[in-house]
Structure 1
């Protein structure tokens, strides 16, 4: 990260219902808007990740193998990867509030189809629909959050919004796992359908009109021609690191339930508790990383990459010991929980006039890596088992850390 880049996300460009000016404070109503955005990302990511917590019963109910069921995450990730970067470029002057609300309706439809799926075919269709809704919501939410608050609160607003991702692990996936264990996995997806529809109304109620943010056409803040995003060192290095690190994470995490059941020998209830522990520390990591990344984004990301690699390595070496597994899950959650906000801060600080495009590109690459990780993890676990899967994921995390250490030392805003 450059020593002369901004230490927070850029000040928002407001519409006919402007947010606070730099000298004003963010009002409680504006924080409510941020909270609804956070709840939206919570439901979006829970919708994507819930198959992890109910993988075994879901596979049994659909008469497919756990590896095949896990590939459904790849479907969602691929669709989101295409949707997220495209959405900011095709919206034009459309009201972002309306777009977000429409995307939540799409998400509700996808979850309803998942709940009704009778086989792998409809499951794939349902996860495609979920991916479209997810790509639009996740791709826009962080950029929209900065427009709702005073500039000095921009990073906190992003941390809160991205915190919905960590909260999905803390509450969403464990709660969905408990619901699935108690009432069936279809009930868990039906509940997500209802939540998405409720949040659709909430977004329309609490958000102001949000047309396209204004920016000098083809120009950066200094008046010079805009550099292509992929030629911006922090953006390019950050995206490459994201590919390796998120692939490593999801190769292992997608199959964490069978890994814990086979290696550690725990019950389904204990699996839910381990996921809760992971999620609680993920929420802590999200806000801690957000605060650190405002000043030292690159170093924060490198620390998180090291933590993810170390935690997976712990599970590979000592995963048969329940206490060590618990510590490894906590460390894993702490490190991965901060990745979304820290990685986004690293890249947006280098091009503060292009937040929507960077966010969409970041989410696209992030979710493509989710898809790749779920696919590679399924391939390895089906062919070789859980232990080679963990070692492979740890090796990918080491590659990601190497990319971050060797690249992006000098940045320009």
Structure 2
């Protein structure tokens, strides 16, 4: 009997083989299409940055941060008009921040199915409504209520901005897109608060909030006209793993940083909690002092009131300069960057506390601004380097809550110290707490480096 040989496979599938392939394709093809769509990340739709929508969102972030921080520049005008102390105006900052920290996550969850572009427009409309309410409120409790209302919108706003930006920007341009949208927040310190302070001195603090409400409504119209309508469930618009934004001009990819550096920080939820605690302590010190910078500059540094807006403008410019140069100076050396930042904070605020002369104190305020420009970027970089990929979203939410708890707690503690011990105690308190945070940062670095080296030896 001749030996049976198997026929050579046909180049084209026939009969059962074709059915098998069709069946297999039903299982495999959707996975392939999904991975390709995610990798494309809307590049096939537009490989370029959607500049106009991003600039419009940047104006929205400018409005958001200006609304949040404006009481720091108008404190000396709001307090006597409402018949309360400066500490009570500082409490408006605390309540605002606590509202954001406590409600942003549940509100984001409740509105998760709503279109992001519609949510942005609605939230900006709520900003305008809250600012109008603040402008016409004639008692402190009513002003406080309007700040709580605006804080509810503020927490939701930042969650929506992040997700919407990720939907409309190609993944390889995500860092640049985020830099544009967050640039509005930096501009609020440079221009928003100083200009708001200047307008308040000329026309009163109520008109300033009214003007801000009008600008907000104008931004709402622009957003309605230029924001693209996107389906957040479209897999083609899903982004790749997060890059770490270091400056407005560059980024560090987490995976690229971690692989060649065996002695880097180990990723764990415990490390995330340590970074969040560090952010909370640092922001508590910052806002215990910065929330009351207006009375400090006027009463301790003795800056004439007509130049107050210029001092705040100088602080904002210095902070923006710090943010812009963070990646250039510390892109590959985040630990060194953190240490340098803490040293500059201690140096600048230490000189301010002594205040030997007007111009030296103003120069030290600029140093303070530069250091605080470095801090948020380096802290966020540290968080994303420590966070395991599967809990990065949770880590970011915890970090946001810690940051806002620091803002609110700092303003509250600063107000209590102001009421019981006077304005002169705020800067020494800042120095003590920042020194504690600096020591904690060095300890965290040492522990993480030791653990990473031990893990490398074990492997």
Q: TM-score range by the shorter chain?
A: 0.7 to 0.9
For each residue in 1:167-223, what CA deviation from the matched residue of structure 2 results, as whole angstroms up to 9, or x when unmatched? 11110000000000001101111111122222223333333325268789xxxx99x
User: What secondary structure, in the 3-state scheme, does the structure 1 residue paired with 2:54 have?
Assistant: helix
- Which sections of structure 1, spanning at least 5 residues, go unmatched? 1-12, 223-229
Alignment of 1:221-236 (within 5 A): 232-236=269-273
Q: 2:364 aligned with 1:328, yes or no?
A: yes
Report the more deviating stretch, 178-187 or 189-198. Answer: 189-198
Provide TM-score, normalisation by structure 2. 0.76
Deviation of 1:340 after TM superposition, in Å, equals 3.0
Aligned to 1:120: 140
Query: RCO higher in 1 or 2 (8 Å CA, sep ≥ 6)?
Result: 1
Contact 1:294 1:345 in 2 (8 A): no
* Change beyond 3 A, Cα 1:126–1:201: same
Alignment of 1:100-249 (within 5 A): 100-208=120-228, 209=230, 211=232, 232-249=269-286
Deviation of 1:38 after TM superposition, in Å, equals 1.9
Contact 2:41 2:171 in 1 (8 A): no
Deviation of 1:78 after TM superposition, in Å, equals 0.6
* Change beyond 3 A, Cα 1:91–1:245: same
Distance, in Å, in 1 between the alignment partners of 2:70 and 2:190 is 12
* Change beyond 3 A, Cα 1:295–1:205: farther
* Change beyond 3 A, Cα 1:241–1:50: same
Aligned to 1:341: 377
Distance, in Å, in 2 between the alignment partners of 1:210 and 1:347 is 30
Aligned to 1:31: 51
Deviation of 1:284 after TM superposition, in Å, equals 1.4
Alignment of 1:339-378 (within 5 A): 339-349=375-385, 350-352=387-389, 356-378=393-415
For each residue in 1:329-363, what CA deviation from the matched residue of structure 2 results, as whole angstroms up to 9, or x when unmatched? 11111121233333233323434566554443322
Alignment of 1:29-68 (within 5 A): 30-68=50-88
Distance, in Å, in 1 between the alignment partners of 2:110 and 2:99 is 16
User: What secondary structure, in the 3-state scheme, does the structure 2 residue paired with 1:407 have?
Assistant: helix
* Change beyond 3 A, Cα 1:164–1:385: same
- Which sections of structure 2, spanning at least 5 residues, go unmatched? 1-35, 240-253, 256-266, 453-459
For each residue in 1:214-252, what CA deviation from the matched residue of structure 2 results, as whole angstroms up to 9, or x when unmatched? 789xxxx99xxxxxxx95244222211110111111100
Please give the root-mean-square deviation of Cα atoms over the aligned residues, in Å: 3.0
Aligned to 1:86: 106
2:319 alignment partner, one of 279, 282, 286: 282
Contact 2:116 2:163 in 1 (8 A): no
User: What secondary structure, in the 3-state scheme, does the structure 2 residue paired with 1:64 have?
Assistant: coil
User: What secondary structure, in the 3-state scheme, does the structure 1 residue paired with 2:300 have?
Assistant: helix
Report the more deviating stretch, 113-122 or 337-346. Answer: 337-346
Provide TM-score, normalisation by structure 1. 0.84
* Change beyond 3 A, Cα 1:272–1:368: same
